[in-house]
Amino acid sequence: MRRFTLPRDIYHGEGALEALKDFQGKKAVVCVGGGSMKKFGFLDKAVEYLKSAGMEVRIIDGIEPDPSVETVMRGAAVMQEFQPDWIVAIGGGSPIDAAKAMWIKYEHPETTFEDMCKVFGLPKLRTKARFCAVSSTSGTATEVTAFSVITDYSKGIKYPLADFEITPDVAIVDPALAHTMPQKLVAHTGMDAMTHAVEAYVSTAATDYTDPLAMAAIKMIKRDLVASYDGNMEKRNSMHDAQCLAGMAFSNGLLGIVHSMAHKTGAAFADYGAHIIHGAANAMYLPKVIAFNAKNPAALKRYAEIADALSLGGSSDEEKLALLIGTLRQMNDALNIPQCIKNYGADSYPCENGFVPEAVFRERLHDIAVNAVADACTGSNPRPINADEMEKLLLCCYFDTEVDF
């Protein structure tokens, strides 16, 4: 038996934020990140709409990119004191992910972070509050997913939380919010969405329910992402819908080792002054993982289907595979994303010598590989992988060398 779960309501299109006016409740807490939602007036609008619905509103702000366990616990303490019956998270993936984890702790104060990390092992939610996610970036799709990513900085590891309990009750996908994204964020979130869709399509948990969503997203992202990056706001609107479709696909069809690797490398070199930004990591690793997975005949066939849907050409599955990999690499180039960790600068742009020294990468490689194999996303990858193979694959991602195993 399989399960397919989405938010009860998805409001989309320009002006969708106004749906908050019709919410019913007494108290709402609004979780938000840095400054963009305040700067562009969307936070004020959200609060105004909730107040017009008759609710008392409390704000939890300053949620950082790659939210920490400590941020989650602080926010949950505010919720426990305020006792909201609506949690509204507005912004990019970080405030929404953090708010999901806060929600767990609010409803079940005895739950530890370690408990939260048990895949599909969360207690029942909605005994105190319902959850609304309002996305401002076109990539994570956390507004429609059963996932959250929280960073334990003491270990330098990002942990995915996975359970249908944290699928939001309401998602608001208003493209006006996505117009605020800086160009670099458009690139990274867009390739995150592409990775979601491709991994969902080849996942061992893919179904007839998830395949159409994944394929539609792949086609839209290939068609619209680079133009959105170049400033076409019509394409920006389309990308906001495309990433949501990708999220619906992977929330139910799951992911693979591109995400396992991105989770475990993202904060692994923070002591060298930067993170490998999640979307950029996915963009760099996806072509290598496709080459690795394609040694599995069933996965090769699925990748060839993607190439056919994109009208890339090729007379054999192997030719189609090479064209798909080449297309993704061309997109990285057009979006100013490096092809490998060695060339990944501290500012995320391509450079000759990136911020992660080779010696440091090799020193930490084994532990990263072990952690990546143990990641929640590894189990649904179409080709099994062990720690030794993961080390070899990560080296290919560091040096941009051919995957021949």
pLDDT in tens, 117-167: 998 999 999 999 999 999 999 999 999 999 999 999 998 888 989 999 999
Confidence grade of residue 179 (pLDDT, cut at 50, 70, 90): very high
* Interval 362-386 mean pLDDT: 97
Collapse the DSSP code of 30 into the 3-class scheme (helix H, G, I; strand E, B; otherwise coil) and give the result.
Answer: strand
Owner of token pair 């086609």: 219
pLDDT at 22 over 90: yes
pLDDT at 114 over 90: yes
- What is the average pLDDT score of the chain? 97
* Interval 181-186 mean pLDDT: 96
Residue 226, pLDDT score: 98
How far apart CA 253 and CA 189 sit, in angstroms, is: 20
Write 46-53 long-range contacts (CB < 8 A, 24+): 46/17, 46/20, 46/88, 46/90, 46/134, 49/17, 49/18, 49/20, 49/21, 50/20, 50/23, 50/86, 50/88, 52/21, 53/20, 53/21, 53/22, 53/23, 53/24, 53/25
Residue 156, pLDDT score: 84
Residue 185, pLDDT score: 96
Compute the CA torsion angle 136, 141, 145, 147 (nearest 10 deg): -90
The sign of the CA dihedral 26, 27, 30, 31 is: negative
How far apart CA 185 and CA 190 sit, in angstroms, is: 8
How far apart CA 222 and CA 208 sit, in angstroms, is: 22
Residue 217, pLDDT score: 98
Is the whole model's pTM more than 0.85, yes or no?
yes
